[in-house]
Amino acid sequence: MAPPQSSPVRHISRRRLLTTSAATAGALLVGSSAATASATGDTWPDVIPLPNGFRPEGITIGGGPYAYLGSLGDGSIYRADLRTGQGGIISAGPGTPSVGLKLDDRGRLFVAARGQGARVVDARTGGIIASYTLTTKTPTFANDVFLTPSAAWFTDSFQPALYALPLGRDGRLPDPDEAVTVTLSGDWTQAPGEAVNANGITRTPDGKALLVVQSGAGGLHRVDPRTGATKLVDLGDAAPLTNGDGLLLLGRRLYVVQNRQNAIDVFKLAADGRSGIFEGRLTDADFDVPTTVAAHRNRLYLPNARFTTTPTPDTTYAIVSVKR
């Protein structure tokens, strides 16, 4: 395999790139509510409608009870109030897709933009703060993103690589030419052409490596962020994670969305992420090809991408919540 490409910021500590801060981890779990009855969100809606024709894929939730979703159609960003189900477009799309996205503790949305690389959106104003070309190789499909305090990591479903946007200690965004490419090797075998390979991404429980699901092959890989060397995670007798999509790690529990199976498989991982035990499968009658997952309090929230339904301007979409 070709060695990882270099960049002016390649010297930055990969340990620091991976370590998740308390603010980042806490954003998944901590919210605010004045009413005791809604402390666990039990009175909140189970299904939250999205605009007709929106075509959601990614979802992210910050410290407050708000979910942010990107459109595969025009790239618009929608914000939904988890308490009421109400919401609206906060950022008009540039006409190109928004796929996976994550919100940081500075109110910035890091968006995987399929063939257009990545962009960063101000969640308060909706303005685009920065845009990045992650690779000049084709085809390319920036699919999902995971944040650490020092980097935003992106998967590419069409190339055997991960991309990192290193962040300054004060959260400073990198210059356009400072994206780092890490080529995947080891157990990774790239399916050719436009088969969906790398998809969802998170970290291992101990924070020393990354976890990436390979959708078509159905494997979960532990990735060394310094070298790109991968090792298949030993999940025992669990069925392959075919159509594996979004990943969510809470403590040592990993939630893996399997989109066309309308299911979430749940694993208890070893601290180093090298192995895991299958704990069960979550399903819901309202699932219609869910793609990604975010957590707020005792609930998981997933957008229905409805990939088996031909999209039209009138096609309905929704977020579905399930208890975890």
pLDDT tens sequence across 146-195: 998 889 999 999 999 999 999 998 899 999 999 999 999 999 999 999 99
Compute the 3-state secondary structure of the chain and give helix, strand, coil in percent, each to the nearest 5.
5, 40, 55
Q: Tell if the pTM clears 0.85, that is, is over it.
A: yes
Assign 27 to helix, strand or coil: coil
> Is the CA virtual torsion 114, 99, 254, 10 positive or negative?
positive
Give a yes or no: residue 240 inside a domain. yes
pLDDT for 149 equals 82
pLDDT tens sequence across 187-242: 999 999 999 999 999 999 999 999 999 999 999 999 999 999 999 999 999 989 99
Question: Quick one: pLDDT band at residue 42, thresholds 50, 70, 90?
Answer: confident
Alpha carbons 200 and 18: distance in angstroms, whole number: 16
Give a yes or no: residue 39 inside a domain. no
Alpha carbons 247 and 255: distance in angstroms, whole number: 6
Question: Quick one: pLDDT band at residue 10, thresholds 50, 70, 90?
Answer: very low
Alpha carbons 42 and 256: distance in angstroms, whole number: 23
Give a yes or no: residue 112 inside a domain. yes
Give a yes or no: residue 308 inside a domain. yes
Give a yes or no: residue 36 inside a domain. no
Q: What is the distance between the terminal CA atoms of the chain, rounded to a whole angstrom?
A: 40
Mean per-residue pLDDT, 263-271: 98
Give a yes or no: residue 274 inside a domain. yes
pLDDT tens sequence across 77-116: 999 999 999 999 999 999 999 999 999 999 999 999 999 9
As a whole-number percent, the residues of the chain with pLDDT over 90 amount to 84
Give a yes or no: residue 71 inside a domain. yes
pLDDT for 36 equals 38
pLDDT for 251 equals 98
| DSSP string covering 267-305 | EEE-TTSSBEEEEEEE--TT-SSB---EEETTEEEEEB-
**Domain range spanning residue 168?**
14-30+47-323
Give a yes or no: residue 1 inside a domain. no
* CA angle at 96 for the pair 92 and 312, rounded to the nearest 5°: 85
Alpha carbons 299 and 8: distance in angstroms, whole number: 41
pLDDT tens sequence across 109-136: 999 999 999 999 999 999 999 999 999 9
Here the CATH number for the domain that contains residue 134 is 2.120.10.30
Q: How many domains does the chain have?
A: 1
Residue 314 to residues 82, 194, 196, 311, Cα–Cα distance (Å): 23, 28, 27, 8
